[in-house]
Structure 1
């Protein structure tokens, strides 16, 4: 049996990243556990010190319960280097579609993600190979991810 897991992002603003990734992945913001009115109530009950609490969300979940939970952990230090792990978002699963159609789908997803707060870092192509096209993007805290 496979082990369930979550993907954790160290960040400065958990609520901002939770909202971005919920939109990017078509996930939903995760509500506080049953019996708690807010995540702060939950974290207080778990013994987290007041100075570590913040208003907002810090996790997102797949509404269908299939994909992993994403948790955004507030840390004091900023990002200093390239990610060692990144997410690849699949805008186009139909490998039989013409290259121009696949590129349009990727570009449409890039435009949607840009409207949510992402920025384009690099367009990935292979000269002479229309079958490969992707875009490296940065989330609002400059974590890299790819769209293909």
Structure 2
């Protein structure tokens, strides 16, 4: 029986996932959910991790914990399926309850610790370039995507995801590799305003609220992304991003 066939492992849509976890202090980002628990020392971070791990003892392969002396980042996703499931939401609720009972509250989620970054590569022939990137980065196929022209992920969960954008013709005067920064949906407007104030330019909001295209003073582009408005059909390959 595959993981997808297991009871309680039904995939969860982006809107449903966000609606379920946002009131708990978590945010939906790139097929997973993340929460930040502020701490005052590494010893306290270890206590937070112990509480979270204790609440997820029967859910191997779902909870990832990153400890720092000022925060603990908790990430939940079914790593075998590569996407969020109903079981993952149960883990979030269980972990949140355990943390709250212990005096730890998930949040805030507006800083960089609550975002996830992926790298996008423009390519005319994705199957021709994809094996190189898969090998040179020691990445693996994204289980939610095509093994021929789909995205790649770090099997350790540490590095940014990589995906390939199909191009119809070479692009001049533009970086062919750009960052996609997936931020909490309720903080993206503030991030855009700050980026523009820092000397950036908003190039396109044609696909908001899925993503906005911004550029620095020399035209190097980055996309600020959220989970929203991604249930609609994909944009054609001639789109800006």
Q: TM-score, normalised by structure 1?
A: 0.34
Higher relative contact order (CA 8 A, sep 6+): 1
Structure whose alpha-carbon radius of gyration is higher: 2
